[in-house]
Chain A
Amino acid sequence: MAFRNSTRWQFRQPSVIPGFGLALGVTLTWLTLIVLIPLSGLIWRSSGLGWSKFFALASDERTVNALTISFGTALVAAVINLIFGVVLAWVLVRYRFPGKRIIDAMVDLPFALPTAVAGIALTALYAPNGWIGSLLEPLGIKIAFTPAGIVVALVFVGLPFVVRTVQPIMEEIDKEVEEAAATLGANRYQTISRVLLPGLLPAGLTGFALAFARGVGEYGSVIFIAGNLPYVSEIAPLLIIIRLEEFNYPAATAIAAVMLLLSFLMLLVINMIQSWSRRRYGNGA
């Protein structure tokens, strides 16, 4: 028996610590009830539609437009966040200036502030009669109630993802590495662009992907500022709600399934970036 035990497939390695059964039991039960059953319900319902109907619903012009707007604005916002997030992280890690602590803490505001509050605040600011909107209006720039407004909201929501992914990696940069580049004759610009930024690439990409994924699904902060004009500034999550209110469950399910699929792809990409970076550079992102 003992011999066979050692070669048998083992679910878990032996441990003296008690409570495995209870802890895993609670975890799996809760996970199944709250997450797995509801999500598989969605998949089951969308597969119940049949392939051709599903495809017809998903390729409906308004749906395609809404998905394009969601993904397009999320992409633009994530790019903006990548650029400014890296600058902000750099400034927070490298420089000293008055109020730095507060700014650092404020970066997490989008995590803590309810999205609806952010939504109405941004709308009040960027509306044509708002503080910023009224400054831009004479220049012919409209932010609120256009896709640009969606981008503004998504920049707000996504900023901490980039900063908080890049910041710890930046803090870990060994000062010796920069000195090494300098002793080899690299000027400051070359050191930053060839040595430091490429080292931050995996972290930057991860932050970018997280901000993008969050932006695609974002609802609360967007609907106030977007104007919600079908085919122009109507985002996919809003279209799901509209279909639900019309009791058009198949359409809502189809849009949700497409979005879910794409977010899982994003998740996969993030994991791939991280394991690639771990393999190659010996650290995660």
Chain B
Amino acid sequence: MAHDVGSASISAPSTLVTAATSETRFARTTLIVIALAFVALFLLLPLATVFIEAFRKGPAEFFSALRDAETFSAIRLTLLVAAIAVPLNLVFGVAAAWAIAKFEFKGKAFLTTLIDLPFSVSPVISGLVFVLLFGSHSLLGPVLQSYGIQILFAVPGLVLATVFVTFPFVARELIPLMQEQGTSDEEAALSLGATGWQTFWHVTLPNIKWGLLYGVLLCNARAMGEFGAVSVVSGHIRGQTNTMPLQVEILYNEYNFVAAFAVAALLALLALVTLVLKTALELRYSDEIAASRRH
């Protein structure tokens, strides 16, 4: 008897509960379709276009475009600039995170805001400030020039602009992470007789390594891909001060589309690798990289 009553109503009420905390199937499907269409239109199609345009005239054209001497020197310059800028910001980021996360001092919030400053400055302005500082109309420019030191339209200018733009990446990733971890591990190590450096190398660094890698990854992607700031300070001297993104612009403006998209495809590949590594880090070490990230 009892079970008859039960089995009679097995299927009927199951739809009631879904109404409490989820949408109708129609609404769900509609929202998914809208979201996917938006992603396809604004993210996937542009990405696909880069590769399609690059290979429009076949792989042979693609590879010959990359073998061009000027393109080759642009790739080299991009790697060089990133190789200087990223380690500099890495050291800075660790130092800043150490000071801000492990200590309490006056003006800490203000310092954090200052570190974030470059994110809110237009890339073009980031370049402009160095032109104003080192240009021929400035105070410093002519002085340095007289000693034969060239900053603008040369590698140092490119590095400076890149460092400025990528300034907050590592620090921003590490500060929340190290704040969350607190200071008890370090205090334990110190109480066991470790020196400051030993504590840093053996206790702190292993705790933050994945977060650090994550920050470096994002910093590097931006360093290699930066366009606006670098464009202002480079002077666009072909084969000398052109980075890859600038080379893309030049080739594009010369209507050499295949070559422009070929270089762009390399940069897009870099972006994809960054995304894959980033996602892998997030999946595997989600608790060892900072939870709050926005940039």
Are chains A and B native binding partners rather than an unrelated pairing?
Answer: yes
Known: A18-B196, A188-B19. A168 touches B122 (CB 8 A): no
Cβ of A233 under 8 Å from chain B: no
Which chain A residue has the least Cβ–Cβ distance from B135? A249
Rounded to whole angstroms, the CA-CA distance of A217 and B96 in the bound complex is 26
Rounded to whole angstroms, the CA-CA distance of A251 and B64 in the bound complex is 43
Chain B 46-70 interface residues, beta-carbon cutoff 8 Å to A: 46-47, 49-50, 53
The reply to whether B31 and A117 contact each other, CB–CB distance below 8 Å, is no
Cβ of A42 under 8 Å from chain B: yes
* 8 Å CB contact of A116 from B135, B248, B293: B248
Please indicate the chain A residues that have their CB under 8 angstroms from the CB of B200 in the complex: 19
Binary CB contact string for chain A from 5 to 20 against chain B (1 if under 8 A, 0 otherwise): 0000011110111111
The reply to whether B103 and A17 contact each other, CB–CB distance below 8 Å, is yes
Q: Please tell me the size bucket of the interface on B.
A: 35 or more
Cβ of A182 under 8 Å from chain B: yes
Cβ of A216 under 8 Å from chain B: yes
The reply to whether B98 and A19 contact each other, CB–CB distance below 8 Å, is yes
Which chain B residue has the least Cβ–Cβ distance from A43? B129
Known: A97-B32, A237-B122, A241-B231. A132 touches B45 (CB 8 A): yes
The reply to whether B232 and A39 contact each other, CB–CB distance below 8 Å, is no
Please indicate the chain B residues that have their CB under 8 angstroms from the CB of A266 in the complex: 120
Please indicate the chain A residues that have their CB under 8 angstroms from the CB of B103 in the complex: 12-13, 15, 17, 20, 24
Q: How far is the CB of B29 from chain A (nearest CB, A)?
A: 9
The reply to whether B248 and A22 contact each other, CB–CB distance below 8 Å, is no
Q: Report which residue of B36, B43, B111, B131 has the largest number of chain A beta carbons within 10 angstroms of its beta carbon.
A: B43
The reply to whether A249 and B137 contact each other, CB–CB distance below 8 Å, is yes
Cβ of A175 under 8 Å from chain B: yes
Please indicate the chain A residues that have their CB under 8 angstroms from the CB of B105 in the complex: 11-13, 20, 24
Please indicate the chain B residues that have their CB under 8 angstroms from the CB of A175 in the complex: 21
Query: Given contacts A10-B106, A107-B43, could you give 19 more A-B pairs where the C-beta distance is less than 8 Å?
Result: A11-B105, A13-B104, A16-B187, A17-B190, A27-B99, A35-B117, A35-B118, A37-B133, A106-B43, A108-B278, A111-B221, A112-B218, A112-B221, A120-B252, A155-B42, A156-B43, A168-B292, A182-B21, A263-B121
Residues of A within 8 A of B (CB): 10-13, 15-20, 22-24, 26-27, 30-31, 34-39, 41-42, 45, 84, 87-88, 90-92, 94-95, 97, 101, 103, 105-118, 120-122, 124-125, 131-132, 152, 155-156, 159, 161, 164-165, 168, 175, 178-179, 182, 187-188, 210, 213, 216-220, 224, 236-238, 240-241, 244, 247, 249, 252-253, 256, 259-260, 263-264, 266-267, 271
Residues of B within 8 A of A (CB): 19-24, 27-28, 31-32, 34-36, 38-39, 41-47, 49-50, 53, 88, 91-92, 95-96, 98-100, 102-106, 111, 113-118, 120-125, 128-133, 135, 137-138, 160, 163-164, 167, 183, 186-187, 190, 196, 199-200, 218, 221-222, 224-228, 231-232, 244-246, 248-249, 252, 257, 260-261, 264, 267-268, 270-272, 274-276, 278-279, 291-295
